[in-house]
Every structure is written in structure tokens, then in C-alpha cells.
Structure 1
Amino acid sequence: MNEERIDVHQHVLPPEYAAWLTKKGIGVAGGIDLPEWSADAALEVMRDFGISRAILSVSTPGVHLGDDAEARIMARVVNDYTAQVVRDRPDRFGFFATLTLPDVDGAIAEAEHALTTLGADGVVLIANSRGRYLGDPAFDPLMADLDRHRAVVFVHPGELPGPDVDGIPSFAMDFLLDTTRAAFNLVKNDVPRRFPNISFILAHAGGFLPYASHRISLAMVATGARDPFEALQDFAGFYYDTALSASPAALPSLLNFAAPGHVLYGSDWPFAPAAAGAYFNSHLDSTATLDDATRAEINHLNADTLFPRLGAEVDAGKPG
């Protein structure tokens, strides 16, 4: 088993945040009951999966449930807690800071605190914030600030701004569409080119994007927004993680589409149970699926380049 995986898609549920969601009547995210989390449990799964470092992030619904002031307080609670987890085990953890979109001013202030004071490895943004998708021009001031920081932005899906379909949990399909919508809106509004110092990571292999990329790019003609060939280049320039996506059906499409060096390992633990992670890891580990060089790139070499600090920690010694 590979012992140097860097996991860019692993979640954390700070206890005060979990209690706050419960108080708000939120016990499910994406159709999945909120799991329990502890650093010890995370480290156990990481040892089983050969993960040397994990970048922790809060999943949907994030911290903005309708009140800007409350969101700012909870974002600070979440980020200070997770930063302490990292300080306790800097050899094993990093984190993406939670922001307060659609509250742009609060998001800029929290990004500044997290990236400069707490040493966050980037930020996590939900694909849509209360129905407003990334790429919305109203979010440009935040994008400008993140561009100034040369930040990594982990784009995680949330609930679609529409009714659920009975019997179809959000994580099964809606999450994939949510990420794809965000990617479309980012490229349609030229965000990757206007803010070129931001590195965007799309969760779950970008949803439907790699598979449908040419069809989606041609839609730029219908909207009159972008040249479809430029759009294809911008889509390929995103980073993508393999969480729940390293299958014989999805992985070849992703690798054939993403720019070289832009595919990263992700587990999605603990929302994805260990059995699911083991299933997808088995495909990554199979010599019939990947050659050794490509496997090493996905497992850690590409992340070494995007997150030099994490690579340095991996090189400093084996996981404990």
C-alpha cells in the first residue's frame, strides 16, 4: 500500500459546529447523517489508507444559514478549532478555512485571518451559497483578495437551490450537478483568467464536467459568454480530486481531460465511510488501472507541487 498519499478532500466536524447544526435542526448533509469526527479516528483511517497528510475542511452546509453575524462567529470558531488540530499534529494535518459567503465582507475578513494568522492551506467554498453560484460578479471582491493571497480554493458541492427528489439522496447526483454548475459559472464569467493566481480544486472529479466537457463548452456559444475552445482550456486547468471517483469508468475520463499534474487524491472521509474509500483506493492501487508514475502523481506528487509545505512534511518522516 502507498504510504505517502496526501488527501485534499477529508472533512472535519468541530464539536461546537456539530452542536450548532443540531440546535438548528440540521442532522443531515447531502442525504447523509452527520458523522462523528475525532482526530484519533481520522488518524486511524489515514493509517489504513496510507495517507500521510490530510487537508481538513468543513462540508456543506457551511456556516451561513441566513444570518451574516452568526456566520462570522461560527466561521471563526470552526477555523480556530481546526487550526488547533493542525498545531497538535502538524505532521499529519492541514486545513482549508471556512468562509461566510454569500457575506462577501465577512468572507474577506475571515480569509485574511485564516491565511495570514492561522496559516490555513487555502479556503473551502460551497459551490452555491444560498442559491448564488461561485462566479457571481458579486463575489469578485473576494476573488480579488484570494488572488492576492495566491490561494488554493477547494470547491465543495452543497444542496441544489431547488426541491429534492424523493428517493434520490443529494450526494448521489445533485452534488455532481452543483459542482458542475459552479465550474460553468466560474468559466462563463472568466474568473480563472481574471484571477489567475487562484488554484481551484473541484471535488469529486468535477462532478459531470470531464465527461461532458465538450458539450458544456459548446453551451458557451449559446450563452454568448465565452469562446468554447478557451472554455475547454479553462475547465482543464482546474484541479480535481478523486474522492468517490477513482473508478474504472470515471478515472480514465478525468485523466484524459485534466491538465497534466492536476489530479489529486481525495477520500471524502468521514462522510464517505471507510468501506467506500477502500473500494476506490483499490482501483488506484491496481496495476491494471494506473501505471506507477501516474499513481504516484495522484497520490502525492501533484499535491507536493500545489502545497509545498505538505510535501516538505511528508519528506520529513513517515507517518506516526
Structure 2
Amino acid sequence: MNTRSGNDPASSPPLHGAVDVHAHFFTERLRTAMREAGVTEPDGMPAIPDWDPRTALRHMDDVGVQVAMLSVSSPGIDFGAAGAARDLARDVNDEGARLVRARPWRFGLMASLPLPDMPASLAEAERALGDLGADGISLQTHYRGLYLGDPVYEPLMGLLDERQAVVCLHPTSPQCWEKTGLGYPRPMLEFPFDTTRAVAHLILSGTLRRYPRISFVVPHAGAALPVLADRIAVFALMRADGPPVDVLADLASLHFDLAGFALPRALPALLNLTDAKQLLYGSDFPFTPDWAVQGLAHPLVEALDPAIREDVLQGNARRLFPRLRGQVSPP
């Protein structure tokens, strides 16, 4: 509860109408599926966080988020049962679309796909982007060990390119996490490395160049990419096989959200890789609890140059998502 006086300037929402491109939601059916699959501590986190629309809206008002683009976080919707991911994808996308229809000036939808089932995923992508009017697609870094950039995803990339879709990437635990996680929650180390691995593969496989009309959003201030970019670029030049790529140019063309700990080190490194027009605000709510979102928002706003602040918080996102361009919220 906010106990500050309304006359206290520090009590005003810090973000002033931001668009949050990294916000998560749950449906009751998704919670049930996670519990039945034994996923009660997703990716080593202590619990499945609480979420409901009213709580989300109250949090958004407190922090100053105008629009939250809702997506399903890791571990996603595939819990191993044949056909279940297809039905669960329809459920979460239908519920997300209902939330957007009820409050189109407050919520957006990044739809989930039942990968690695490619025929069902192609059908659901068409349905979500067409019938449901989803704002984009959320993709994990890998599905059962096959990372984005693998040839198996070519049909999907072709469809998303044709649709000029926005694709928000989200990390998930690698298949070998038991050996590499060292007993820590996977979002601490494994998520940044998995994001870096997936984006590097998208570039080195030539996927980004083959499908230039897909707008990819990389989470968590680019993960480890800003500090590994030059290393990846040099190794790309040493390869005898594979398509020619310009790693640094491809990285600079991506969009990056600032969810998590962008300060004090990640954001300056990211701005050495790309420029401010590629940056977007992200909260990672509710996996990042409301008090932490508030605590991260204030220094971020203060650190952003006033010349770019509005674009980073909302302008870039409104240009990226067609539905948000010129959108005015009702009283």
C-alpha cells in the first residue's frame, strides 16, 4: 500500500504513461496445468506469482504504466502431454484477447504458440494475429532444446515475416539446467545466457536477414549480448560455412526491453551496441513484484536523458505496435 501523501512529489507514478512490453499474465487453466505438471516453482523461482486484472491495473496505475503487453512467461505452455499445449495456447490467447477487448487502452496481447507442434503453431499464429487481433507473438528462446534459428522454425518465420509481426523473445531454462544452474534460480544466470544463445543463433543462421520484416524484441537489456557482441562478431568472420552476416549491424537492428536490472551497468553497455530508438520499457511483472518494479522505475527515469526519456518509455513502443499509434485513453 502506498502510504505517501498525495502532495508528496515522490508519490506520483514515475513512468508517466509508459508502455510495458514485458508483462506477464496467468489464466486459471494455465495455473492448473502448471500444478498438475508439478511446476510449482517455475525455473527455480519460489512460487507461481499471483496475478489478476484488477491487481495488475492497480500496479500499473501506481507505477505509471498506461499499456501492458501481456504474455505467458517461462516455462510456457508445453508440459509434455500430446495435444495439451494446443488447447492451452487457445485458452490463454482467448483470455488475453478478452482482456484487451475489455480495456484496449490498458492491455495488449503477445500470443503464445504450442511449439514444437509446428502445424498447430502455424494455425494458432494465424488465428491470433488475425481473428484475435493480437499485437504480436511471444516466443521462447528454445523449445525442447531446438533454439530459434534452427531450420525447423522456417515455416513459422515465413508466416511472421509475411505478417510483419512483432515477436517478443523470452528466455527459459536450458535442457541441461540441472548441471549448469548450480542450484540457483535459473533467471539469475541461465536466462541471460539462453537469450544470448538464441539471438546469436538467429543472427549466425541468417534468420534475421531472411526475415527482415519481423520485429524482434530482446528482453532484459540485451542479456549478455552487449558484452559478447564483439566476440560473436569475430567468430562469425572465422566461420568457413554459413551465410555471411554482419553481427553488429544485426544486433543494432533489434529492439531491446529494459526489464530487470538495466542499471547501473547494463544500459550503458547496451547503448554502445544500439541507440535509444530501439529501447523499450519492460517491468517483468508479476515475476518482478510491484515494490521492486517501483524501485527499479525511479532510477531508470532519472538516468534517462530527457531528450530520449519519452521515446524509451512509450514513443518507441507506440511506433512499433500499430494499434497503439495515436491511441488516446478514455477518461
TM-score over 0.5 for the pair:
yes
Of 233, 252, 260, which residue of structure 1 is paired with 2:249?
233
> Within 1, Cα distance between the matches of 2:113 and 2:253?
24
CA deviation after TM superposition for structure 1 residue 2, in Å: 3.2
Q: Match for residue 140 of structure 2?
A: 126
1:30-64 deviations in Å (ceiling 9; x for gaps): 22111011001111110111100010000111112
Q: Match for residue 9 of structure 1?
A: 22
Q: Match for residue 180 of structure 1?
A: 196
Q: Match for residue 24 of structure 1?
A: 37
> Within 1, Cα distance between the matches of 2:154 and 2:80?
21
Q: Match for residue 164 of structure 2?
A: 150
Of 49, 53, 63, which residue of structure 2 is paired with 1:39?
53
Confirm or deny that 1:258 pairs with 2:270.
Answer: no
For residues 216-231 of structure 1, the aligned pairs below 5 Å read 216-224=232-240, 225=242, 227=244, 230-231=246-247
CA deviation after TM superposition for structure 1 residue 223, in Å: 3.9
Residues 202-211 or 141-150, more deviating: 202-211
Gaps of 5+ in 1: none
Confirm or deny that 1:200 pairs with 2:230.
Answer: no
CA deviation after TM superposition for structure 1 residue 260, in Å: 4.6
Given that residues 96 and 120 in structure 1 are in contact (C-alpha distance below 8 angstroms), is that contact kept between their aligned partners in structure 2? yes
Given that residues 113 and 121 in structure 2 are in contact (C-alpha distance below 8 angstroms), is that contact kept between their aligned partners in structure 1? yes
> Within 1, Cα distance between the matches of 2:82 and 2:111?
17
Q: Match for residue 242 of structure 1?
A: 258
> Within 1, Cα distance between the matches of 2:177 and 2:304?
39
> Within 1, Cα distance between the matches of 2:84 and 2:321?
31
TM-score of the aligned structures, taking structure 1 as reference length: 0.94
Give aligned pairs, total: 314
> Within 1, Cα distance between the matches of 2:259 and 2:235?
27
Of 250, 271, 290, which residue of structure 2 is paired with 1:274?
290
Given that residues 237 and 259 in structure 1 are in contact (C-alpha distance below 8 angstroms), is that contact kept between their aligned partners in structure 2? no
Identity of aligned residues (%): 40
AA aligned to 1:191 is T
Classify the secondary structure of the residue corresponding to 1:196: coil
TM-score of the aligned structures, taking structure 2 as reference length: 0.91
Q: Match for residue 77 of structure 1?
A: 91
Q: Match for residue 329 of structure 2?
A: 317
Larger Rg: 2
Confirm or deny that 1:65 pairs with 2:79.
Answer: yes
> Within 2, Cα distance between the matches of 1:217 and 1:44?
44
Residues 113-122 or 166-175, more deviating: 166-175
CA deviation after TM superposition for structure 1 residue 68, in Å: 4.4
Question: Runs of 4 or more off by more than 2 Å in structure 1?
Answer: 65-68, 163-167, 221-228
> Within 2, Cα distance between the matches of 1:240 and 1:2?
18
CA-based RMSD: 1.5
AA aligned to 1:299 is L
Classify the secondary structure of the residue corresponding to 2:186: coil
Given that residues 155 and 201 in structure 1 are in contact (C-alpha distance below 8 angstroms), is that contact kept between their aligned partners in structure 2? yes
Gaps of 5+ in 2: 1-13
CA deviation after TM superposition for structure 1 residue 233, in Å: 0.6
> Within 2, Cα distance between the matches of 1:89 and 1:217?
44
CA deviation after TM superposition for structure 1 residue 227, in Å: 4.6
Q: Match for residue 7 of structure 2?
A: none
1:3-27 deviations in Å (ceiling 9; x for gaps): 2100000000111111111111111
Given that residues 144 and 175 in structure 2 are in contact (C-alpha distance below 8 angstroms), is that contact kept between their aligned partners in structure 1? yes
Classify the secondary structure of the residue corresponding to 1:99: coil
